[in-house]
Amino acid sequence: MELDATNTPKTVRLSFEGTAIEAPAGATVAAALLAADIIAFGTRPVSGLPRGAFCMMGTCFECMVEIDGIANRQACLETVQEGQNIRRMPPRIPTKGQGDGDD
């Protein structure tokens, strides 16, 4: 949601899991995802439950995503770029008690 109608910033197009989203230039990747109602950024290592942005200041490491093929990027510290390709990262370890795990 845009705060500032009188100072409309340029828009950047990027993709999350192959779906196109738009974000104001200068926004962080994490803010862009949340603005597009994407709340779950990945899965937790032990329970396999979803995780998402929490602190937005680079300290909690829960917003880590894959950006343009590079894993473990903190989405709250990266600025959106035109054409950026954002993906969830595969789970660190297979979910316990499930033979095939998650993919």
Q: CA nearest 42: which of 94, 92, 82?
A: 92
Among 79, 81, 85, 95, binds other proteins (CB under 8 A): 79
Query: What does the DSSP 8-state code read for residue 6?
Result: T
Does 14 engage in binding with other proteins (CB under 8 A)? no
Phi, psi of 63 (to 5 degrees): -100, 15
User: Binding of other proteins at residue 101 (CB under 8 A)?
Assistant: no
Q: Which stretch binds other proteins (CB under 8 A): 14-22, 50-58, 81-89, 94-102?
A: 50-58
The radius of gyration computed from the CA coordinates of the chain, to the nearest angstrom, equals 15
> Residue 67 pairs with which residues in a beta bridge?
70, 86
What residues line the site for other proteins (CB under 8 A)?
1-4, 6-7, 9, 23-24, 26-28, 31-32, 34-35, 37, 39-41, 44-47, 49-62, 64, 72, 76-77, 79
